[in-house]
């Protein structure tokens, strides 16, 4: 039997630990800060210096590295494509996910199976997905061409990755496919929080399907759409494997986005200083977008 006094003392101590929020957040904060702030500081430091390709700091150069990035026509091209890439995937996945989530929210035979299938892309690493698709899009041996030929859509092979006009849309399509599971999960969560009697009531009042969707479902989904936009934008903006594995940003840089441009700058061309400056720029860009979007979304909600 434990001594009652010391046990009480222990409880006292435990309680004080439990009610001290700083103690509670400390482990999480320290770990996250170490792994995130320390590298951020180190990158910021590199970004304002002239640095050789092995990261040895030389002179302080202020914003010169940033100017180099802004003056690089490839940066502007990559920026433009990043905008298309992010918008295409985020919008595309939301447009597909809303109806699919509605179907999956209703009861039907095999719903469990359908949910599992549609969630599957989530279970594969993006790198592996991209490797499989790159192989499937191979102009000669790829099963995409042979499949489309078999069902009569194509009468000759397409070299999917030979030019941006086919490669980039396919990359966006793959991006949409892998973004859908997360988006649908969020929407399903939203839909399941809608009480059924709301629909019953609407139907009793004679509203048709479209009206129910517009007047009830969509407004209820709105906060969830906002979450999907913010989370997916962050994720897609930083997404690297799809483009890297399929085209490495080529041919002739025509599918380069900011992350692949960053990777080339830093690790292929050895321009660590410019790459660090670009890292900071990308972070600021994303931060600005997110803050702007959250603010707009909140204002709309209030209005």
Partner 1 sequence: MSLSRKAKRSIWSWVALSPLIVLVLFPFAVMILTALKPPSEVLRQTWIPSEFHWRNFITMWGATNFGKALWNSVYVSTLSTIIALIAAIPAAYAMSRYRFRGKGAFQQFLLVSQMLSPIVLVIGLFRLVVWLGLVDSTNSVVIVYAAFGIAFSVWMLQSYFATIPRDLEEAAWIEGATPWQALIRVFLPLALPAMVVTALFTFINAWNEFVIALTMLRTQDSYTLPIQIFSLVAGRYTVEWHHVMAATFVATIPVAIIFAWLQRYLVRGLALGAVK
Partner 2 sequence: MSFVSSGRLALAASAMALVAGAAMADIRVTVAEYSSLTGPFFNDAAAAFEAETGTKVNIEVVPWDVLFQKLTTDISAGAQADLSIIGTRWLIDFASEDLVAPLDDIISDDLRERFVPAFLDPSIMDGQLLGLPVAASARAMYFNSDLMAQAGVESVPENWEELADAAAKISALGDDIYGFGLQGAEIETDVYYYYALWSYGGDLITADGTSGLGTQAAVDAATMYKGLIDAGVTEPGVTSYNREDVQNLFKQGRVGFMITAPFLATQIANEVPDLNYGVSAIPAGPDGDRGTYGVTDSIIMFENSPNKEEAAAFLDFVFGHDWRVRFDSGEGFLPVTSSVAEDPAFADDPVLSVFASLLPTARFAPTIAGWEEIAAIASDAMQSIYLSDGDSAIAPTLSAAADRINALLP
- For residues 256-275, which are near partner 1 according to CB under 8 A? 259, 262-263, 266, 272, 275
Binding of partner 2 by 268 (CB under 8 A) = yes
195-234 burial string, b = 16+ CB within 10 Å, else e?
eeeeeeebeeeebeeeebeeebbeeebeebbbbbbbbbbb
Q: Give the span between the Cα atoms of 87 and 52, in whole angstroms.
A: 36
Q: Give the span between the Cα atoms of 28 and 273, in whole angstroms.
A: 31
Residues 222-261 that bind partner 1 (CB under 8 A): 223-224, 227, 234, 237-238, 240-241, 245, 259
Binding of partner 1 by 115 (CB under 8 A) = yes
Total residues binding partner 2 (CB under 8 A): 31
93-108 burial string, b = 16+ CB within 10 Å, else e?
bbebbbebbeebbeee
The region of 99-107, 176-184, 216-224, 250-258 touching partner 2 under the rule CB under 8 A is 250-258
Residues 198-217 that bind partner 1 (CB under 8 A): none
State the distance between the two ends of the chain, measured CA to CA, in whole angstroms.
Answer: 63
By CB under 8 A, name the one of 61, 135, 199, 293 that touches partner 1: 135
| Residue in the structure block whose two tokens are 């930083």 | 238
By CB under 8 A, name the one of 56, 76, 84, 116 that touches partner 1: 116
Nearer to partner 2, 70 or 87 (CB): 70
One character per residue 3-42, x = contact with partner 1 (rule: CB under 8 A): --------x--xx--xx-xxxxx-xxx-xxxxxx-xxxxx
- Report residue 57: phi and psi, to 5°: -70, 135
Distance of CA 136 to the CA centre of its chain: 23
Question: Measured from the CB of residue 77, what is the shortest distance to partner 2 in angstroms?
Answer: 11
Site residues (CB under 8 A) for partner 2?
52-56, 138-141, 156-163, 167, 247-248, 250-253, 264, 266-270, 272
């Amino acid at each position: 039997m434990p001594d009652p006094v010391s046990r009480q003392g222990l409880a006292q101590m435990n309680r004080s630990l439990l009610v001290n929020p700083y103690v509670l957040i400390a482990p999480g904060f320290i770990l996250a800060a170490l792994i995130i702030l320390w590298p951020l500081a180190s990158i910021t430091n590199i970004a304002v210096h002239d640095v050789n390709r092995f990261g040895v700091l030389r002179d302080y150069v202020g914003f010169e590295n940033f100017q180099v990035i802004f003056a690089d026509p490839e940066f502007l091209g990559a920026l433009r494509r990043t905008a298309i890439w992010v918008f295409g995937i985020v919008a595309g996945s939301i447009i597909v996910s809303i109806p699919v989530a509605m179907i999956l929210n209703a009861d039907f035979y095999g719903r469990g199976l359908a949910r599992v299938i549609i969630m599957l892309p989530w279970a594969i690493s993006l790198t592996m997905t991209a490797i499989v698709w790159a192989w499937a899009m191979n102009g000669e041996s790829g099963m995409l061409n042979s499949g489309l030929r078999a069902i009569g859509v194509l009468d000759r092979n397409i070299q999917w990755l030979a030019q941006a006009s086919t490669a980039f849309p396919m990359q966006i399509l793959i991006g949409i496919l892998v973004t859908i599971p997360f988006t649908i999960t969020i929407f399903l969560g939203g839909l399941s929080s809608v009480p059924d009697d709301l629909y019953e009531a609407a139907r009793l009042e004679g509203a048709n399907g479209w009206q129910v969707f517009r007047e009830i479902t969509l407004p209820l989904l709105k906060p969830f759409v906002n979450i999907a936009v913010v989370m997916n934008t962050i994720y897609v903006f930083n997404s690297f494997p799809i483009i890297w594995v399929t085209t490495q940003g080529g041919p002739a840089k025509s599918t380069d986005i900011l992350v692949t441009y960053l990777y080339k700058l830093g690790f292929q061309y050895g321009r660590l200083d410019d790459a660090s400056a670009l890292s900071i720029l990308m972070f600021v860009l994303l931060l600005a977008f997110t803050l702007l979007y959250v603010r707009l979304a909140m204002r709309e909600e209030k209005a």
